[in-house]
Amino acid sequence: MQPELRLIPVIDLLQGQVVRGKGGDRAAYRPIVSALCQSSEPLTVARKLCGHCASQQLYVADLDALMGGSAQHALLHSLLLALPELELWLDAGFADAQGAAALIAALGEAGRRVVPIFASESLRSREALQACFADGGPAALSLDRRGSQRLDPAGCWDAPELWPQRVIVMTLERVGSGAGPDLATMAELRRKVPGATLIGAGGVRSGADLALAREAGADAWLVASALHDLQIPPARA
């Protein structure tokens, strides 16, 4: 019997609030309205989601940084201090390893618990891709696409020899859509990198979807909307 799929809860941060992601149209995101948590305050939402999933990992998309602004340093720091057991997976639009290192350094000692996410939509070059994972540190690569279009100026999708152990399969048009997970792409990548840890993102509607994602080769899945809409029951701690 296959083990259950591991859930990693997600919060999207925009101007100090948690917003609901849908379809990757970040400019249209609005403060979260949740059946799970009657708040859009980041620490409140983070605690609720992590408790619901029995997870000590939290994926954070800093939309201010992703949309060309400044990273929300103070907010990220406060989350790390308030949740001392948390491992924070952070996507802040890093173009290269130096950008991630600078942000993590600004977070001080708490930055040791940050896993930088290097996203194919943000990396500036193939050389930057290679440098991001050269030291074997705790980073992950996000392979981003919207529909049939790869968001990939650096050519990450076509360089599996440069991929790290952890790879996220991010299907942006399915985020918050309730359209179901992209199982075909997950299965394709599992065949390509059988030994990698593959994490899916987007489209999950229920526990049944999670089971199908596991069968397709996923080890974990990034989830937000299905949690806020109470479509996935609480995990056993």
Question: Mind listing the pLDDT tens digit for each residue in 49-63?
Answer: 999 999 999 999 999
Q: ∠ CA(174), CA(180), CA(184), 5° rounding?
A: 90
pLDDT of residue 103 exceeding 60, the answer is: yes
Question: Mind listing the pLDDT tens digit for each residue in 178-202?
Answer: 678 999 999 999 999 999 999 999 8
Torsion of CA 87, 92, 95, 100, to 10 degrees: -40
- Share of residues in the chain with pLDDT > 70 (%): 93
Domains of the chain with bracketed CATH = 6-228 (3.20.20.70)
- How far is residue 117 from each of residues 35, 99, 163, measured CA to CA in Å? 28, 11, 12
Give the DSSP per-residue string, 26-68.
GGG-EE---SS-S---HHHHHHHHHHHHT-SEEEEEEHHHHTT
Question: Mind listing the pLDDT tens digit for each residue in 12-41?
Answer: 999 999 998 665 666 667 889 899 998 999
